[in-house]
Amino acid sequence: MHLDVNFAAEALRAGGSAYVLKTSSIEEILESVRETLHRRSYVAPSIQTALEQARMERPGRQDEFRFKLTSRQREVLQLIVEGRSSKEIAEVLHLSRRTIEFHRYRIMKELAIRTTFELVQYAMKSGIVPW
């Protein structure tokens, strides 16, 4: 794709799992495939910093949000960051898949985040959950 933060942000917002550039090496493309197969996101390093900066400059992003999450929401968020599906999280926490999806919805609403990719990036960057 293009070396344009807006293209990358829109692609990820639309549900994309990875974003690589047309000029990416074959190794980088293979790495993006490996990451997505493990249900993790991948963004080309050459655009990652600019994308993170643009995301953090959006209004409504404040560190105070991290203190509003309950301990259960933090557990769910940690498992999301690890790349687990709602079904897997439900099994680990002995809850229903629907309950996990509700927790995910509430977390994203609380943090004013629209995609799982943004949620994972925000959680890792802000230190809400350990890596």
Residues 51 and 89 in one domain: no
Residues 67 and 97: their CA atoms lie apart, in Å, by: 25
Residues 77 and 118 in one domain: yes
pLDDT at 98: 95
* Unique residue bearing structure tokens 């990820």: 12
pLDDT tens profile 54-100: 666 655 444 444 447 788 888 899 899 888 999 999 999 999 999 99
**53 vs 9, 104, 125, CA distance in Å?**
11, 24, 11
pLDDT at 96: 95
Residues 10 and 46 in one domain: yes
Residues 48 and 100 in one domain: no
pLDDT at 102: 93
**74 vs 5, 79, 107, 130, CA distance in Å?**
29, 9, 9, 10
**97 vs 56, 73, 76, CA distance in Å?**
30, 14, 11
Whole-prediction pTM value? Answer: 0.50
Residues 44 and 76 in one domain: no
Range of the domain at 23: 5-56
Close Cβ partners of 35 (under 8 Å, ≥ 6 residues apart): 17, 18, 41, 42
Residues 114 and 84 in one domain: yes
Residues 34 and 51 in one domain: yes
Whether 19 and 46 have beta carbons less than 8 Å apart is answered as: no
Residues 77 and 51 in one domain: no
Residues 76 and 118 in one domain: yes
* N-terminal to C-terminal alpha carbon distance within the chain: 28
